[in-house]
């Protein structure tokens, strides 16, 4: 049970961290300052209280100077990978090199999420952690369904 709780907690923090971090990056770049629809669904779905949101925001603000560059680097490395894949002179080596940069950026982001989970996790209730687990299960099921449809479509063609 403890491992499941820890996994759910890390997932909740990852989800919230990603949402809040992207929100902060967009706000820093001059995008609309309102909460996005995904972030709103997370807040509503987890039934986060104002006090919890304030505590989470406090933790995220304390890590802003670390989170924002990591998110920007992750986005830039993913964009560079797409460009490497579609480049006119693309080679296996160039795509692998770009992919390694994405892996490094994702690793950096995962480590930061792990650190934040230790700070944000205690803010969530057991019920909220259970809701995160349900969300994860639904997300996994949706991915499996899409992969199944893609496989079926490829078999027909």
- Percent with pLDDT over 90 in the chain: 62
- Percent with pLDDT over 70 in the chain: 78
Q: Give domain limits for the chain.
A: 2-156
Q: What is the largest CA-CA distance in the chain?
A: 54
pTM here is 0.66
Q: Which residues contact 35 (CB under 8 A, 6 or more apart)?
A: 23, 43
Summarize pLDDT for 124-144 with one digit per residue, the tens: 999 998 898 898 899 999 999
Nearest 5°: the CA angle 119, 122, 126 is 145
CA 56/CA 19 separation, integer angstroms: 12
């Amino acid at each position: 049970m403890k491992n499941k709780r820890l996994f759910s907690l890390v997932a909740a923090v990852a989800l919230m961290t990603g949402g809040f971090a992207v929100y902060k990056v967009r706000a820093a770049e001059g995008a609309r300052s309102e909460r996005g629809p995904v972030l709103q669904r997370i807040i509503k779905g987890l039934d986060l209280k104002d006090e919890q949101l304030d505590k989470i925001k406090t933790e995220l603000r304390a890590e802003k100077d670390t989170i924002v560059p990591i998110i920007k680097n992750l986005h830039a490395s993913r964009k560079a990978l797409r460009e490497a894949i579609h480049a006119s002179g693309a080679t296996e080596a160039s795509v692998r090199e770009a992919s390694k940069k994405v892996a490094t950026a994702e690793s950096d982001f995962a480590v930061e999420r792990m650190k934040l989970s230790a700070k944000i996790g205690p803010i969530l209730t057991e019920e909220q952690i259970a809701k995160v687990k349900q969300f994860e299960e639904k997300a996994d099921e949706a991915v499996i369904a899409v992969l199944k449809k893609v496989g079926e479509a490829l078999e027909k063609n």
